[in-house]
Chains A and B, each alone.
Chain A
Amino acid sequence: MECVFGLVGNGFAIVVADSSAVHSILVHKSNEDKIMLLDSHKLIAASGEPGDRVQFTEYIQKNVALYQFRNGIPLTTAAAANFTRGELATALRKNPYSVNILLAGYDKETGPELYYIDYIATLHKLEKGAFGYGSYFSLSMMDRHYHSGMSVEEAIDLVDKCIMEIRSRLVVAPPNFVIKIVDKDGAREYAWRESVKDTPIPSA
Protein backbone atom coordinates (compact mmCIF):
# COMPACT_ATOMS: atom_id res chain seq x y z
CA MET A 1 0.00 0.00 0.00
CA GLU A 2 2.98 2.25 -0.43
CA CYS A 3 2.23 5.40 -2.35
CA VAL A 4 4.90 7.36 -4.13
CA PHE A 5 4.25 10.04 -6.73
CA GLY A 6 5.95 13.06 -8.20
CA LEU A 7 5.69 15.82 -10.77
CA VAL A 8 7.78 18.47 -12.51
CA GLY A 9 6.86 22.15 -12.30
CA ASN A 10 8.33 25.45 -13.35
CA GLY A 11 11.97 25.17 -12.29
CA PHE A 12 11.34 22.55 -9.62
CA ALA A 13 10.34 18.93 -9.11
CA ILE A 14 8.27 17.57 -6.24
CA VAL A 15 8.14 14.02 -4.92
CA VAL A 16 5.69 12.74 -2.32
CA ALA A 17 5.84 9.47 -0.44
CA ASP A 18 3.74 7.92 2.27
CA SER A 19 5.47 7.35 5.59
CA SER A 20 4.11 4.11 6.97
CA ALA A 21 6.47 1.27 7.73
CA VAL A 22 4.24 -1.78 7.56
CA HIS A 23 4.90 -5.46 8.30
CA SER A 24 1.92 -7.64 7.33
CA ILE A 25 -0.98 -6.19 9.38
CA LEU A 26 1.16 -4.21 11.79
CA VAL A 27 2.16 -0.58 11.31
CA HIS A 28 5.61 -0.25 12.86
CA LYS A 29 5.84 3.50 12.48
CA SER A 30 4.07 6.27 10.60
CA ASN A 31 6.90 8.74 10.15
CA GLU A 32 9.30 6.75 8.00
CA ASP A 33 11.12 8.96 5.51
CA LYS A 34 11.16 7.16 2.17
CA ILE A 35 12.65 10.03 0.18
CA MET A 36 16.42 10.17 0.39
CA LEU A 37 18.68 13.05 -0.60
CA LEU A 38 20.97 11.63 -3.23
CA ASP A 39 23.10 14.75 -3.31
CA SER A 40 22.50 18.47 -2.95
CA HIS A 41 20.20 18.61 -6.00
CA LYS A 42 18.68 15.14 -6.25
CA LEU A 43 15.94 13.25 -4.49
CA ILE A 44 15.25 9.54 -4.67
CA ALA A 45 11.79 8.39 -3.58
CA ALA A 46 11.67 4.64 -3.24
CA SER A 47 8.93 2.12 -2.56
CA GLY A 48 9.10 -1.63 -2.17
CA GLU A 49 10.62 -4.18 0.18
CA PRO A 50 11.90 -2.22 3.18
CA GLY A 51 15.31 -3.90 3.38
CA ASP A 52 15.97 -3.59 -0.36
CA ARG A 53 14.69 -0.02 -0.37
CA VAL A 54 17.10 1.22 2.28
CA GLN A 55 20.06 -0.89 1.13
CA PHE A 56 19.72 -0.02 -2.52
CA THR A 57 19.10 3.71 -2.13
CA GLU A 58 22.00 4.03 0.31
CA TYR A 59 24.22 2.14 -2.14
CA ILE A 60 23.24 4.54 -4.92
CA GLN A 61 23.73 7.55 -2.64
CA LYS A 62 27.23 6.49 -1.65
CA ASN A 63 28.24 5.75 -5.23
CA VAL A 64 26.96 9.12 -6.41
CA ALA A 65 29.03 10.76 -3.64
CA LEU A 66 32.07 8.67 -4.67
CA TYR A 67 31.76 9.92 -8.25
CA GLN A 68 31.75 13.49 -7.00
CA PHE A 69 34.85 12.89 -4.87
CA ARG A 70 36.71 11.17 -7.69
CA ASN A 71 35.78 13.56 -10.46
CA GLY A 72 35.24 16.85 -8.69
CA ILE A 73 31.86 17.49 -10.30
CA PRO A 74 28.46 16.05 -9.40
CA LEU A 75 26.56 13.66 -11.66
CA THR A 76 23.72 15.05 -13.77
CA THR A 77 20.22 13.81 -12.99
CA ALA A 78 20.16 11.77 -16.20
CA ALA A 79 23.50 10.17 -15.37
CA ALA A 80 22.38 9.28 -11.85
CA ALA A 81 19.15 7.80 -13.23
CA ASN A 82 21.01 5.72 -15.80
CA PHE A 83 23.47 4.54 -13.18
CA THR A 84 20.61 3.48 -10.91
CA ARG A 85 18.95 1.65 -13.80
CA GLY A 86 22.22 -0.08 -14.62
CA GLU A 87 22.60 -1.36 -11.07
CA LEU A 88 19.02 -2.64 -11.02
CA ALA A 89 19.43 -4.25 -14.45
CA THR A 90 22.67 -6.02 -13.48
CA ALA A 91 21.11 -7.37 -10.31
CA LEU A 92 17.86 -8.32 -12.07
CA ARG A 93 18.94 -11.76 -13.24
CA LYS A 94 21.08 -12.58 -10.23
CA ASN A 95 19.69 -11.10 -7.05
CA PRO A 96 16.90 -8.68 -7.90
CA TYR A 97 16.02 -5.68 -5.79
CA SER A 98 12.26 -5.13 -5.34
CA VAL A 99 12.45 -1.34 -5.29
CA ASN A 100 10.51 1.12 -7.42
CA ILE A 101 12.15 4.52 -7.69
CA LEU A 102 11.21 8.05 -8.67
CA LEU A 103 14.36 10.10 -9.09
CA ALA A 104 13.92 13.88 -9.15
CA GLY A 105 16.74 16.30 -9.74
CA TYR A 106 17.68 19.78 -10.85
CA ASP A 107 20.59 20.57 -13.21
CA LYS A 108 21.55 24.13 -14.10
CA GLU A 109 21.72 23.26 -17.81
CA THR A 110 18.60 21.15 -18.19
CA GLY A 111 16.39 22.27 -15.32
CA PRO A 112 14.17 19.97 -13.28
CA GLU A 113 13.72 16.33 -14.33
CA LEU A 114 11.82 13.33 -13.04
CA TYR A 115 12.78 9.73 -13.82
CA TYR A 116 10.61 6.66 -13.34
CA ILE A 117 12.63 3.51 -12.61
CA ASP A 118 10.71 0.26 -12.24
CA TYR A 119 11.84 -2.63 -10.06
CA ILE A 120 12.77 -4.49 -13.26
CA ALA A 121 14.90 -1.54 -14.36
CA THR A 122 12.61 0.12 -16.88
CA LEU A 123 13.78 3.73 -17.14
CA HIS A 124 11.65 6.56 -18.46
CA LYS A 125 11.79 10.33 -18.11
CA LEU A 126 8.39 11.71 -17.16
CA GLU A 127 6.58 14.89 -16.20
CA LYS A 128 4.38 13.06 -13.71
CA GLY A 129 4.75 9.55 -12.32
CA ALA A 130 3.51 7.32 -9.52
CA PHE A 131 3.94 3.86 -7.98
CA GLY A 132 1.78 1.58 -5.90
CA TYR A 133 -1.95 1.30 -5.38
CA GLY A 134 -2.05 5.04 -4.78
CA SER A 135 -0.94 5.52 -8.39
CA TYR A 136 -4.42 4.63 -9.64
CA PHE A 137 -5.73 7.71 -7.85
CA SER A 138 -2.78 10.12 -8.04
CA LEU A 139 -2.11 9.55 -11.76
CA SER A 140 -5.73 10.20 -12.62
CA MET A 141 -5.80 13.38 -10.52
CA MET A 142 -2.59 14.56 -12.14
CA ASP A 143 -3.88 13.71 -15.64
CA ARG A 144 -6.84 15.97 -14.94
CA HIS A 145 -5.17 18.92 -13.22
CA TYR A 146 -1.53 18.91 -14.30
CA HIS A 147 -0.15 21.30 -16.89
CA SER A 148 3.50 21.98 -17.63
CA GLY A 149 5.09 24.98 -15.92
CA MET A 150 3.05 24.89 -12.73
CA SER A 151 4.08 27.15 -9.86
CA VAL A 152 4.95 25.73 -6.45
CA GLU A 153 1.58 26.75 -5.02
CA GLU A 154 -0.34 25.11 -7.88
CA ALA A 155 1.77 21.97 -7.60
CA ILE A 156 1.31 21.66 -3.83
CA ASP A 157 -2.41 22.18 -4.37
CA LEU A 158 -2.39 19.28 -6.84
CA VAL A 159 -0.34 17.16 -4.44
CA ASP A 160 -2.86 17.83 -1.69
CA LYS A 161 -5.70 16.87 -4.04
CA CYS A 162 -3.92 13.56 -4.75
CA ILE A 163 -3.35 12.89 -1.06
CA MET A 164 -7.04 13.62 -0.32
CA GLU A 165 -8.04 11.21 -3.06
CA ILE A 166 -5.75 8.46 -1.75
CA ARG A 167 -6.91 8.99 1.83
CA SER A 168 -10.57 8.82 0.93
CA ARG A 169 -10.54 6.08 -1.73
CA LEU A 170 -7.75 3.61 -0.88
CA VAL A 171 -8.89 0.91 1.54
CA VAL A 172 -5.69 0.77 3.63
CA ALA A 173 -4.67 4.34 2.96
CA PRO A 174 -1.48 5.49 4.65
CA PRO A 175 -2.24 8.31 7.10
CA ASN A 176 0.90 10.40 6.70
CA PHE A 177 2.87 11.72 3.73
CA VAL A 178 6.14 13.55 3.31
CA ILE A 179 6.64 16.09 0.51
CA LYS A 180 10.09 17.02 -0.72
CA ILE A 181 11.07 19.54 -3.37
CA VAL A 182 14.17 20.08 -5.49
CA ASP A 183 14.93 23.31 -7.36
CA LYS A 184 17.88 25.56 -8.14
CA ASP A 185 18.45 26.09 -4.42
CA GLY A 186 18.78 22.38 -3.77
CA ALA A 187 16.80 19.44 -2.46
CA ARG A 188 14.93 19.82 0.81
CA GLU A 189 11.94 18.69 2.78
CA TYR A 190 8.92 20.83 1.99
CA ALA A 191 6.21 19.59 4.33
CA TRP A 192 4.59 16.66 6.10
CA ARG A 193 0.90 15.90 5.76
CA GLU A 194 0.02 14.07 8.93
CA SER A 195 -3.33 12.81 10.08
CA VAL A 196 -1.88 10.49 12.72
CA LYS A 197 0.95 11.71 14.90
CA ASP A 198 3.40 9.14 16.30
CA THR A 199 4.04 9.48 20.03
CA PRO A 200 7.41 11.17 20.47
CA ILE A 201 10.21 8.87 21.66
CA PRO A 202 11.19 9.93 25.20
CA SER A 203 14.87 10.76 25.42
CA ALA A 204 17.00 8.90 27.91
Chain B
Amino acid sequence: MSIFEYNGSALVAMVGKNCFAIASDRRLGVQLQTIATDFQRISKIHDKLFIGLSGLATDAQTLYQRLVFRHKLYQLREERDMKPETFASLVSALLYEKRFGPYFCQPVIAGLGDEDKPFICTMDAIGAKELAKDFVVAGTASESLYGACESMFKLDMEPEELFETISQALLSSVDRDCLSGWGGHVYLV
Protein backbone atom coordinates (compact mmCIF):
# COMPACT_ATOMS: atom_id res chain seq x y z
CA MET B 1 0.00 0.00 0.00
CA SER B 2 1.31 3.44 -0.87
CA ILE B 3 2.08 5.93 1.89
CA PHE B 4 -0.56 8.25 0.44
CA GLU B 5 -3.18 5.58 1.09
CA TYR B 6 -2.17 4.91 4.68
CA ASN B 7 -4.83 7.08 6.32
CA GLY B 8 -7.38 7.37 3.48
CA SER B 9 -8.91 10.64 2.36
CA ALA B 10 -11.21 12.30 -0.15
CA LEU B 11 -11.24 15.99 -0.97
CA VAL B 12 -13.10 18.05 -3.54
CA ALA B 13 -13.50 21.77 -4.21
CA MET B 14 -15.94 23.38 -6.65
CA VAL B 15 -16.52 26.84 -8.04
CA GLY B 16 -19.95 28.46 -8.13
CA LYS B 17 -21.34 31.92 -8.84
CA ASN B 18 -19.25 34.19 -6.60
CA CYS B 19 -18.91 31.34 -4.13
CA PHE B 20 -16.94 28.15 -3.63
CA ALA B 21 -17.46 24.90 -1.79
CA ILE B 22 -14.83 22.57 -0.39
CA ALA B 23 -15.70 19.16 1.00
CA SER B 24 -13.88 16.24 2.59
CA ASP B 25 -14.71 12.85 4.02
CA ARG B 26 -14.47 12.17 7.76
CA ARG B 27 -12.62 8.88 8.04
CA LEU B 28 -9.27 8.54 9.76
CA GLY B 29 -7.88 5.06 9.29
CA VAL B 30 -4.71 3.10 9.72
CA GLN B 31 -4.70 1.01 6.56
CA LEU B 32 -7.69 -1.31 6.89
CA GLN B 33 -8.72 -0.24 10.40
CA THR B 34 -10.91 2.80 11.05
CA ILE B 35 -9.71 4.86 13.99
CA ALA B 36 -12.10 7.79 13.91
CA THR B 37 -15.14 8.98 11.97
CA ASP B 38 -14.89 12.68 12.79
CA PHE B 39 -11.50 13.68 11.42
CA GLN B 40 -11.21 17.24 10.08
CA ARG B 41 -9.26 17.49 6.87
CA ILE B 42 -10.24 21.03 5.92
CA SER B 43 -8.92 23.96 7.92
CA LYS B 44 -9.56 27.67 7.77
CA ILE B 45 -6.69 30.00 6.99
CA HIS B 46 -8.87 33.10 7.05
CA ASP B 47 -12.57 33.78 6.51
CA LYS B 48 -12.28 33.52 2.74
CA LEU B 49 -9.56 30.91 2.40
CA PHE B 50 -9.70 27.22 3.22
CA ILE B 51 -7.18 24.47 2.69
CA GLY B 52 -7.85 20.76 2.70
CA LEU B 53 -4.95 18.36 3.06
CA SER B 54 -5.29 14.79 1.86
CA GLY B 55 -2.77 12.02 2.23
CA LEU B 56 -0.78 11.17 5.33
CA ALA B 57 -2.52 12.67 8.37
CA THR B 58 0.62 13.43 10.34
CA ASP B 59 2.13 15.42 7.45
CA ALA B 60 -1.23 17.16 6.92
CA GLN B 61 -1.17 18.28 10.57
CA THR B 62 2.49 19.38 10.44
CA LEU B 63 1.99 21.21 7.14
CA TYR B 64 -1.14 22.94 8.42
CA GLN B 65 0.72 24.19 11.50
CA ARG B 66 3.53 25.58 9.32
CA LEU B 67 1.04 27.27 6.98
CA VAL B 68 -0.93 28.90 9.79
CA PHE B 69 2.38 30.15 11.21
CA ARG B 70 3.44 31.66 7.87
CA HIS B 71 0.03 33.22 7.32
CA LYS B 72 -0.07 34.79 10.79
CA LEU B 73 3.38 36.27 10.14
CA TYR B 74 2.14 37.60 6.81
CA GLN B 75 -0.88 39.15 8.55
CA LEU B 76 1.37 40.88 11.06
CA ARG B 77 3.70 42.24 8.40
CA GLU B 78 1.19 43.20 5.71
CA GLU B 79 -1.79 43.96 7.99
CA ARG B 80 -4.13 42.09 5.66
CA ASP B 81 -5.14 38.54 4.73
CA MET B 82 -3.33 36.60 2.04
CA LYS B 83 -4.90 36.34 -1.39
CA PRO B 84 -5.69 32.76 -2.44
CA GLU B 85 -3.28 32.90 -5.38
CA THR B 86 -0.47 34.07 -3.09
CA PHE B 87 -1.30 31.38 -0.56
CA ALA B 88 -1.22 28.71 -3.25
CA SER B 89 2.27 29.86 -4.23
CA LEU B 90 3.31 29.72 -0.58
CA VAL B 91 2.06 26.14 -0.23
CA SER B 92 3.80 25.18 -3.45
CA ALA B 93 7.08 26.67 -2.25
CA LEU B 94 6.86 24.96 1.15
CA LEU B 95 6.22 21.61 -0.50
CA TYR B 96 9.07 21.97 -3.01
CA GLU B 97 11.49 22.83 -0.18
CA LYS B 98 11.12 19.19 0.80
CA ARG B 99 11.63 17.93 -2.77
CA PHE B 100 13.87 15.01 -1.75
CA GLY B 101 12.05 14.15 1.47
CA PRO B 102 8.51 15.33 0.80
CA TYR B 103 5.41 15.83 2.85
CA PHE B 104 3.05 13.06 1.75
CA CYS B 105 0.11 15.40 1.25
CA GLN B 106 -1.95 16.69 -1.62
CA PRO B 107 -3.45 20.05 -0.74
CA VAL B 108 -6.68 21.43 -2.14
CA ILE B 109 -6.95 25.20 -1.77
CA ALA B 110 -10.18 27.15 -2.15
CA GLY B 111 -10.69 30.84 -1.58
CA LEU B 112 -12.39 34.05 -2.63
CA GLY B 113 -10.07 36.58 -4.20
CA ASP B 114 -10.62 40.21 -5.13
CA GLU B 115 -14.26 41.08 -5.76
CA ASP B 116 -15.27 37.67 -4.40
CA LYS B 117 -13.96 35.85 -7.43
CA PRO B 118 -13.67 32.17 -6.43
CA PHE B 119 -10.27 30.48 -6.74
CA ILE B 120 -9.49 26.79 -6.44
CA CYS B 121 -6.37 24.80 -7.04
CA THR B 122 -4.70 21.56 -6.09
CA MET B 123 -1.12 20.39 -6.19
CA ASP B 124 0.83 17.18 -5.91
CA ALA B 125 3.09 16.30 -3.00
CA ILE B 126 6.02 18.32 -4.34
CA GLY B 127 4.08 21.46 -5.16
CA ALA B 128 3.07 21.26 -8.81
CA LYS B 129 0.10 23.61 -8.97
CA GLU B 130 -2.95 22.68 -10.94
CA LEU B 131 -5.39 25.56 -11.37
CA ALA B 132 -8.89 24.79 -12.53
CA LYS B 133 -11.94 26.79 -13.35
CA ASP B 134 -14.52 24.23 -12.30
CA PHE B 135 -13.45 21.64 -9.73
CA VAL B 136 -10.41 19.98 -8.22
CA VAL B 137 -10.12 16.65 -6.40
CA ALA B 138 -7.57 14.83 -4.24
CA GLY B 139 -7.25 11.73 -2.10
CA THR B 140 -7.72 7.98 -2.39
CA ALA B 141 -11.15 8.45 -3.96
CA SER B 142 -9.88 10.97 -6.55
CA GLU B 143 -10.61 8.81 -9.59
CA SER B 144 -14.24 8.32 -8.58
CA LEU B 145 -14.45 11.99 -7.70
CA TYR B 146 -13.25 13.06 -11.15
CA GLY B 147 -16.03 11.06 -12.73
CA ALA B 148 -18.74 12.21 -10.34
CA CYS B 149 -17.77 15.88 -10.54
CA GLU B 150 -17.46 15.87 -14.34
CA SER B 151 -20.98 14.58 -14.72
CA MET B 152 -22.63 16.63 -11.94
CA PHE B 153 -20.89 19.98 -12.38
CA LYS B 154 -22.59 22.99 -13.99
CA LEU B 155 -21.22 26.51 -14.44
CA ASP B 156 -22.34 29.39 -12.20
CA MET B 157 -24.29 27.41 -9.63
CA GLU B 158 -25.92 29.29 -6.77
CA PRO B 159 -24.73 28.37 -3.25
CA GLU B 160 -27.64 26.03 -2.42
CA GLU B 161 -27.29 24.09 -5.66
CA LEU B 162 -23.49 24.02 -5.33
CA PHE B 163 -23.83 22.53 -1.83
CA GLU B 164 -26.12 19.78 -3.13
CA THR B 165 -23.87 19.01 -6.08
CA ILE B 166 -20.64 18.81 -4.11
CA SER B 167 -22.24 16.71 -1.38
CA GLN B 168 -23.70 14.21 -3.81
CA ALA B 169 -20.45 14.00 -5.76
CA LEU B 170 -18.47 13.38 -2.58
CA LEU B 171 -20.84 10.83 -1.06
CA SER B 172 -21.25 8.78 -4.22
CA SER B 173 -17.48 8.69 -4.80
CA VAL B 174 -16.46 7.72 -1.28
CA ASP B 175 -19.04 4.95 -1.32
CA ARG B 176 -16.86 3.25 -3.91
CA ASP B 177 -13.67 3.70 -1.90
CA CYS B 178 -13.08 1.62 1.20
CA LEU B 179 -10.42 3.95 2.60
CA SER B 180 -12.57 7.07 2.74
CA GLY B 181 -16.10 7.81 3.83
CA TRP B 182 -18.09 7.92 7.06
CA GLY B 183 -19.83 11.12 6.03
CA GLY B 184 -18.53 14.43 4.84
CA HIS B 185 -17.73 17.98 5.89
CA VAL B 186 -18.74 20.71 3.45
CA TYR B 187 -17.64 24.34 3.72
CA LEU B 188 -19.50 26.82 1.57
CA VAL B 189 -18.34 30.40 1.23
Measured CB to CB, the residues of A under 8 A from B are 85, 89, 92-93, 116, 118, 120-124, 126, 129, 135-136, 139
Contact = CB atoms under 8 A, between A and B. Distances in A.
A129 B58 CA distance: 17
Contact of B58 (A122, A126, A136): A122
B7 interface: yes
Contact of A136 (B33, B56, B57): B33
B35 interface: yes
Contact of A120 (B33, B36, B58): B58
B30 A126 contact: no
B101 A122 contact: no
Contact of A118 (B30, B39, B62, B101): B30
A145 B157 CA distance: 44
Nearest to A126: B36
Contacts of B61: 85, 89, 121-123
A89 B56 CA distance: 12
Contact of A124 (B33, B35, B62): B35
Nearest to B103: A93
7 contacts: A89-B58, A118-B30, A118-B58, A120-B58, A123-B61, A124-B35, A136-B33
Interface of B: 7, 28, 30, 33, 35-36, 39, 56-58, 61-62, 101
Contacts of A139: 33
Given A85-B61, A89-B62, A124 B39 contact: yes
A129 B35 CA distance: 7
Nearest to B34: A139
Nearest to B40: A124
Given A93-B101, A122-B7, A122-B28, A116 B35 contact: yes
A121 B58 contact: yes
Given A93-B101, A129-B35, A124 B58 contact: no
Contacts of A129: 35
A92 B3 CA distance: 14
Tell which of A116, A124, A139 has the most Cβ of chain B within 10 Å. A124
Contacts of A123: 58, 61
Contacts of B33: 135-136, 139
Contacts of B30: 118
B63 to A, nearest CB: 10
Contacts of B39: 124
A92 B62 CA distance: 11
Nearest to A139: B33
A120 to B, nearest CB: 5
Given A89-B62, A93-B101, A120 B56 contact: yes
Contacts of A85: 61
